A = this chain, B = another copy of it.
């Protein structure tokens, strides 16, 4: 297996890009990523996207998007795992280069969510959950996370306040990220008084909907310096799945796919959690962020609120987490999010994260999840 590096990247601000179509968003960002690597020939493209077939009735997205950047012969394929599509696309791109089958691979994530109603977006998001037995009876993705959050609060004796603290922290980080959708602070009071989505999940327990695109270029590590002065290696990659249905879980206070995927990624990178300088985790809901921190082994179970109050995940804490603002404040353009994480972590490792730069920044871990952790992909990135 060859060693693989990121040698180019780009992203756009997450938000309501009413004046840009799906293919325009993708094209702008991927062309920019290719330029950042000196415009190498691209051998293959992997695309992460969740909802183009609902929003624009478009299947065969791979070909649409490769055409949008004038690459009309390059094999281009859509990888779909709901909001874990970005991480899965990264994983496929990594394999393609590691296998030796392709040399230069473009991985792009793109989503347009701004041009349908919020209700429509919730419905599309709920397609990530088990349809025949759960959604059929009226459960939604919001409802699933509400069940988990309620049980977490009951089991650990934890109040809404802890979750609100997480949302506040995410927004604090986002103020230093010019690509974030919501780059402003929120008060704890605001966070505690938002309208209910699915009790106890309130508006500030969920990620906003928005449009976005992000892209990275993979190449063999040995060639990386011909494309960039600051290559970053994919030191490890792992993926695991879990039951799709919530009722099928043995323990709903853990997404074991996160633990399994990170174990694989850390083992292949020969690193442990204390070696990691920064994390980008999948806080599609505040409870999702809590479980990620626990399942990765960063914080003891039930203690996330405390840890946040102690500054553990702050930029100058022991485990800087979601310096981008996370899904809550950077935003969550469903299929693109996993690729945003890769871009943000790489900028940190290159020392280019500006206001949010942490130090040291040698190793990063990014975790992207589908639905209720039905598929989780973890990558460990390392400065070369």
A residues with CB within 8 A of B = 1, 21, 23, 44, 50, 53-54, 56-64, 66-67, 71-82, 84, 88, 92, 95-96, 98-101, 127-132, 135, 237, 239-245, 248, 256-257, 260-261, 370-371, 374-375, 377
Contacts and interface: CB of A to CB of B under 8 A. Distances in A.
Given A77-B81, A99-B99, 19 more contacts: A1-B99, A56-B131, A58-B130, A58-B132, A59-B81, A59-B128, A60-B370, A60-B374, A60-B375, A63-B370, A63-B371, A63-B374, A67-B244, A71-B241, A73-B260, A77-B79, A79-B80, A95-B101, A101-B237
Contacts of A78: 79-81
Contacts of A73: 240-242, 256-257, 260
9 contacts: A53-B127, A57-B127, A58-B127, A60-B370, A63-B371, A67-B244, A76-B241, A76-B375, A98-B100
Interface of A, helix, strand, loop or mixed by DSSP: mixed
B244 A60 contact: yes
A111 to B, nearest CB: 13
A78 to B, nearest CB: 5
Stoichiometry (number of copies): 2
A101 to B, nearest CB: 5
A75 B375 contact: yes
Given A75-B375, A245-B67, A81 B60 contact: yes
A58 B257 contact: no
A260 B76 CA distance: 14
A374 to B, nearest CB: 4
A60 B77 contact: no
B239 A127 contact: no
Given A80-B80, A99-B95, A242-B63, A131 B75 contact: no
A318 to B, nearest CB: 30
Contacts of A53: 53-54, 127
A379 to B, nearest CB: 13
A60 B128 CA distance: 5
Contacts of A245: 67
A67 B248 contact: yes
A58 B131 contact: yes
A274 to B, nearest CB: 25
B72 A59 contact: no
Nearest to A261: B75
A58 B131 CA distance: 6
A124 to B, nearest CB: 8
A238 to B, nearest CB: 8
Contacts of A375: 60, 62-63, 75-77
Nearest to A44: B239
B132 A63 contact: no
**9 interchain residue pairs of minimum CB distance:** A99-B99, A63-B374, A75-B239, A59-B127, A63-B244, A1-B100, A60-B82, A98-B99, A58-B131
B59 A50 contact: yes
Contacts of A244: 60, 63-64, 67
Question: Among the interface residues A56, A63, A78, A88, which one has the most CB atoms of the partner chain B within 10 A?
Answer: A63
A371 B240 CA distance: 32
Contact of A243 (B67, B80, B128, B370): B67
